[in-house]
Chains A and B, each alone.
Chain A
Amino acid sequence: MSEEVKTCACGSAEEPSEEELIQRLDAVIGEYRGKPGALIPVLQLAQGIFGYLPEVALKHIARELRKPYSEVAGVVGFYSFFTTVPRGKHLVRICMGTACYVRGAVQVLDAFKKELGIDIGGTTEDREFSLEIARCFGACGLAPVITVDDDVHHRVKPKRVNEILAQYADEAVLAERSA
C-alpha cells in the first residue's frame, strides 16, 4: 500500500497528469491481474493514486480486470472507504461505532461539521478537509476516536476540534479561517 502514502494529496507544486496517474494505475493492475479478489486492493490503491475514484479510473479498472462496470461500481458503493468525489488534502473520519457513539461521537461530529462548515461526505471549499464517518477503528478503549489522514486522535472532546485541525491546516488557511 506504499502507493497510497507516496501519492496522497500532499500539495506538491505540480499535479501529475491523468495519463501519468493511469500509468501508475496500470502498474498496480499488473501486480494484481489474475489474482482472486483483485478488485478491492486495486480500488484501494487507485484511490491512493487519484485521491478518489474518478470514472476514468473505474472504467479502466473494469476493462483491465475484465470485470463488469456494474460490479466495480457495486463494490465502490458498498464500502464507505471508497469515494467517487474528490477529497480534500486531509481526511477527517469520526468513528460512530458503539463505544465512541455512547462516549459522545455525535457531539464531536457536530463540532467538526460546524468548524469546517460541511456535512458528512463533504469537502471544504478550499479543498483542505473532507469529513466522513466510520464504523470502529478498533480502539474502543480510547473512545471517542477520530482519524485525520493516518493519525489517530483519541478521547476527542468537541472543544479540542479547533486545536486538532490547526495541526493540519496551512498557516495561510488558518489566518483566513480566523479572520
Chain B
Amino acid sequence: MPTLTIDDIKVEVPEGTTVLQAARQAGVKIPTLCYLDDLQSIGACRVCLVEVEGARTLVASCSQPATDGMVVKTNTGKVRDGRQMVVELLLSEHDGDCQVCGRSADCELRTLALDLGIGELRYQGEKTFKMIDDSTPALIRDTGKCISCRRCVTVCNEVQQVGGLFAQGRGFATLIGPAFSQNLSDVVCVQCGQCAAVCPVGAIQERNQIDEVWDALEDPTKTVIVQTAPAIRAALGECFDYPAGTLVTGKMVAALRRLGFDAVFDTDFTADLTIMEEGTELLVRLKKALVDGEQVALPQFSSCSPGWINYMEHFNPDMLDNLSTCKSPQQMFGAIAKTYYAEKIGVKPEDMVVVSVMPCTAKKYEAARPEMNDSGVRDVDIVLTTRELGALITQAGIDFRSLADEEMDAPLGISTGAADIFANTGGVMEAALRTAWEIVTQTPFPFPNLHVAPIEGLEGVKVATVKVEGAKGDWAFLEGADLKVAVAHGLGNAQKVIDQVKSGEAEYHFVEVMTCPGGCIGGGGQPRFTTNEVRKARMAAIYREDEGREVRKSHENAAVCALYEEYLGAPCGEISHHLLHTHYFAHDRV
C-alpha cells in the first residue's frame, strides 16, 4: 500500500489509486472537468494539474498513479497558474452565450472559472465551430459550446454501448458527434440523454418545451392536465436545494396546481395499469408456451423505457417479438386520458393537452412517435424533464419550499406503492411479481415487506428465481415452476443479458430493462449531477414512498379496477389492445 504526502498530509492508499483519488481520501479538493467517477480519467482537460516533487512538469492527477513516497502539492503558484491557464484557454474557444445558456446556473466550466479566480479573458481567438443539431425531439447539440471533454463519448460508448458519439477530426477542428457531421436523428442515438446528464457545459441539452406548456396553460379553450412519472418525486427537490433523496410528492402536486393545470395526475396510475397488462401478457405467453405448445418469444422484455425500445429497434431487430407489446406508462396515460377521462369530463380529445413530467429525454421522442395517437389525436402533447419542471416552477415565481403538501386528483392520480417503484431498477419486476404471484396463487406475496432483495440495488445485471407454489385455476399449469427473471439497467448491461439469452447461456421468462443506470431515478432528464450516491439516495426515497402506502399492489388499485369495469373490460382485451399496446420497427444498426 503506497503512502504519499499531499499538501503535507500523509495518506496511505490501495495499490492502483490515482493521485486525485488519494487527494480526495486526504480531504484535499482538486478541481476536475473531464473526469467522471469510475468511468473516465483520461487527463484530457488538464484542469486537475498538481505539482509532484521530482516531476519535470505539472501532472494531471486523475491519471497519475499514486506511488510510495510521492510528494504532491496541490496549491502552489505554479499549480494555480497552470489550472488558470488551462481554463482560460478553454474559455477562449468556448462559444458560450453564457448569459442565456440553459446551463448558466450549473455550468461546470463557469464554476471552475469562478473557483479559480479568473477575472479577465486574456486570450481572444478563434471559437469552436458552431453547429446546432436540433434534429431529434429529445436533444439539442451545440458544437460551439463543446469543450471536447469526451464525457458524453464515454457514457454513450461504454455505459450504453450505443456509440452514437465519437471524436471526429483532429486538433482544434475536433468535433464530438456522430460520423461525418450527421444529425443525431440519422444515427443509432437512442435519445436516452445520458450525454446531456454528464455534459459539463451546454453542448448537449434536452429540447426545452417550457414555452409550449405556458402557451397551453394560457389557452382558455384547452383542458390541460399533467402526469408526473414515479421518479420525479424523489428528485425534483434537488432543483430547490433539498438533498438528494428528499421526497417532495405533496409539494410537487401543490406547485403543479398553482401553475394552473386543470388536473394533476400521476403516471403511477398507468404504471399500475401497465402491471395488469404486462403481467397478463406474460402469463398468456407462458400458457401458450407451456400448455398449448405454441411458439412464443420468451423471455418477455419490459417495454417501459423508450431508450431501450430505440436500442432494440436499432441493435436487436431480430428480438422485437420478445418486447412486451405494452406501451409505456406515459403513453398509456395519454391514451386513457384522451378517451376514458375525456369522455368522463365531456371534453373532446382535441381540446385536451396532456403534459408529462419525465426523468427522461427519450420520452420526448416516444411521445412524438407517429403511432402514439390511439385517442385519435396525439396522446401525449408535451414532455418536460424533471429539470424543466424545476425551471417552470421557478419561472412562475412559486416558492416551492414553502408549499404545503397536496394530494393528486382522482381518478388518474390514484395509485399504489407498486407503481412508485417503477422508478428504480428492479421495480417494474418487483411490482409485476407482487401482482402475478397473487393472480396465480390467490395467496399473499410471500416476500418480506414485499421486496425481492436479489433484484434491488445497483448491480448491473440481477437475477432471481421464484418458485411458484399454490397455483390455481387457469394458472395451475405453473405449479412448482421456477420463474426465472433478470433485471438490467444501462444498455451495456442489457446487451449482456441479450447475449446470454441468444447464446443459450441463460434462460429467463421475464427481463426488466431500464435504459439509464439506476433506472428512471438516474434518467437523462434528472437534476444534475447524478452520482451513484445520488442514485442510492433517490432509490431509498422511492422505497420509502412505496412502504408508506396503504395499497402496494397494482391489482388492488381501485381506480384501475374501475377503469377495467367501466371501460376496458379485461386486461389484454380488445380495447386494451387498441389503446394500451403498440408495435415496433426494425432499424439499421449503423
* A→B interface (CB under 8 Å): 58-59, 62-63, 67-74, 77-78, 84
Contacts and interface: CB of A to CB of B under 8 A. Distances in A.
Contact of A74 (B162, B167, B187, B589): B167
B186 to A, nearest CB: 10
Interface string B175-198: 001111000000110000000000
Central interface residue in B163, B170, B178, by most chain A CB within 10 Å: B163
Nearest to B175: A77
A77 B164 CA distance: 16
A68 B168 contact: no
B166 interface: yes
A73 B180 contact: yes
A78 B170 contact: yes
Nearest to A60: B590
B157 interface: yes
A74 B168 contact: yes
B590 A63 contact: yes
Contact of B168 (A58, A62, A67, A73): A73
Contacts of B187: 69-70
24 contacts: A58-B179, A59-B590, A63-B589, A67-B163, A68-B162, A68-B164, A68-B166, A69-B163, A69-B187, A70-B163, A70-B165, A70-B177, A70-B178, A70-B187, A72-B179, A73-B166, A73-B168, A73-B180, A74-B168, A77-B169, A77-B170, A77-B180, A78-B167, A84-B180
Nearest to A59: B590
Contact of A70 (B166, B169, B170, B589): B166
Contacts of A77: 168-170, 180
Contact of A78 (B169, B178, B188, B589): B169
A178 B177 CA distance: 46
Nearest to B177: A70
Given A68-B188, A69-B163, A74 B590 contact: no
Contacts of B170: 77-78
Given A71-B166, A77-B169, A77-B170, 13 more contacts: A59-B590, A63-B589, A68-B157, A68-B163, A68-B164, A69-B163, A69-B187, A70-B168, A73-B168, A77-B168, A78-B167, A78-B170, A84-B180
B226 to A, nearest CB: 37
A69 B189 CA distance: 11
Nearest to B167: A74
Give the top 9 A-B pairs by smallest Cβ distance, nearest first.
A68-B163, A73-B179, A70-B166, A74-B166, A69-B590, A59-B590, A77-B169, A71-B166, A70-B179
Majority DSSP secondary structure for residues of B touching A: loop
Interface in B464-495: none
Contacts of A58: 179
Nearest to A73: B179
Contacts of A62: 590
Nearest to A67: B163
Central interface residue in B166, B170, B177, by most chain A CB within 10 Å: B166
Contacts of B157: 68, 71
Contacts of B177: 70
Contacts of A84: 180
Nearest to B170: A78
B447 to A, nearest CB: 40
Contacts of B180: 73, 77, 84
A72 B187 CA distance: 13
A58 to B, nearest CB: 8
A127 B157 CA distance: 39
Nearest to A61: B590
Nearest to A58: B179
A72 B164 CA distance: 11
B503 to A, nearest CB: 15
A72 B165 CA distance: 11
Nearest to B589: A63
